[in-house]
Chains A and B, each alone.
Chain A
Amino acid sequence: MFAHLRPAIVLLALFVALTGIAYPLAMTGVAQIALPGQANGTLIERNGTVIGSGRIGQPFTSDRYFQPRPSATGGAPYNAANSSGSNLGPTSQKLADRVKDDASSLKKEYGLTTVPVDAATASASGLDPHISPDYALLQLATVAKARGLPEERVRALVEGRIERRLLGFIGEPRVNVLRLNLALDTLQP
């Protein structure tokens, strides 16, 4: 037993130095030099202020912007310092109540009988940056009206922002809400 102590302690110390310090620091060095934008969180700046990350969803309340999915992060929606899903089970009354509220207001707003599933379900991280193309196209009339823009212009903008499946089959079609809204602000500040 005691004969094993020296190799245990020495090898542990060596592997802490190698895999716990040298490896992550070397990777950090390489990433910071080769990919500074992504390595620091794909931050987006406008007029010198950071307005968010291109990979992290954020809350929007105004009708002038496209809305993201519901979020269940800790504290407040889209809290990017405390990611979380709702963790409500499929037979949860709380889930049914929440979906009922969200779905009925969407149905009323757009005069629909069914709404895209991502529009009324909370994402796994609570920070989902994307919505489905269906949900984006659904919202364009409201956004165009709030901005006084012709619907066709907004539609062209949304369609240009739909990210397709890689090679036609990898991933899902999606629209990045923050990037879409930024493009909207560029179109009409």
Chain B
Amino acid sequence: MGTIELLMQGFAVALTPESIMFALIGAILGTLIGALPGLGPANGVAILIPLAFSLGLSATSSLILLTSVYAGAMYGGRISSILLNIPGDEPAMMTCLDGYPMALKGKAAEALATSAIASFIGSFIATIGLVILAPILAKFALKFGPAEYFALFALAFATLGGITGKNQFKTIIAAAIGLMIATIGIDISSGVQRYTYNNLHLFEGIDFLIAIVGLFAISELFFFLEQHAGDGLKQVALNKLKLTAKDILFVMPASIRGALLGFVSGVLPGAGASLGSFVSYTLEKKISDKGEFGKGDPRGVAAPEAGNNGAASGALVPMLTLGVPGSGTTAVLLAMLISLNVNPGPMLFQQSPDLVWGVIAALFVGNLVLLLLNIPMVGVFVKLLSIPPKYLMPIVTLIASVGIFSITGSAIDLYFMVGFGIMGYVLRKVDIPLVPVILGMLLGPEMEKNLRHALVLSDGDWTVLWSSGLSVGLWIVAAAGLLLPMVFGSILRAKMKRSKDGLVD
């Protein structure tokens, strides 16, 4: 069957009334979560996975719900960038540069609408890219043997810090911690208990959902408490929207360029959304020097937003075809797939095409829903955003706990959640990134399985890990991903910081 037919089948799944309802709920929830400063997309999806799971939704429904949450959270993130000058996550930083000045000039509604349109274009173009590229990559990935997979997982960790990563050794430490947690429990292939100390609760290992919610959401609560940030921040008031077709056409070229650049950097390992939005913004500034970049040029809002969203969809390409996520949020999406018993990888496209294409179609539908929802309803979201964190954070914590409790209905999971919260707080203080920990927990079992297969086939000869041309290539990219940021990382970060500081002056 051709790609188009498969996609049409996907739309048939995504356009049932039930699916549209879930897409709508997901889009609203996602926008809300993304808009809350400090929560961000990764947290939002993480908190909602156990809930979707315990509500007994079907795999397709949960996937549609959570992909819309994911898409919605990317939309919501820009609300706090523009109105509060606080990026929800790192890629949103570039949106602050022109978005906040626009809001200060009394054009907050225009800035939000422009970014909504740019986000839509970014996601739309990148999802088309996903449709074209994913099946090709999936076919290619069938050539991978256990040794290649092992190298690929190593590559995923090596490039996770991204080109802007600060201390590569801390990324490695984080990955090792995550992989170590993943080894707890009964070893599947030999039946030996590892690090369980005869504790019945540890036999099945530690659920990564508990770790995700603990590391992200609970540690965030501690940071809020520490910084006395309970009152929230002053936000710029919203004006009445005056957007003409001419304004939309004005930002169109910038959005399309941003979307393409973003998609490419999303697909590439290690580049990620931060680079996507950064490159899009810088290019736009170079091409059109007549504009007022940094002082509230709408193109300066459109380009990084399109880049950011393009990268988010682009990152789904390696995640769906290889099972290797490139960013924090896609790592959480991978967690969602694994908890639904869906194993991403090249076989996914052959074994459950209805599911994959349903998700891709859901992305299209979700983004359209978001665009239609966001322009008229942005005022409602802004109102909700003005609820101070001193009321919101405890409520979010409670909902997160309910979700964790509902996985097994046991309070022990909640104790673990608090433990992971403390761990997340300490790790963040020591500047050890949290995403590799999560990724380690997710990929650990697969990584070990592939290492074992490779070594059993070669009868214990470790050189099998770099004996094929493909695996050598993967190892070289992994090494480059680890070493290049040490050289270029500080330069790039200084550049991003300079353009940000330039705004404050």
A and B physically associate: no
Interface residues of A (CB under 8 A from B): none
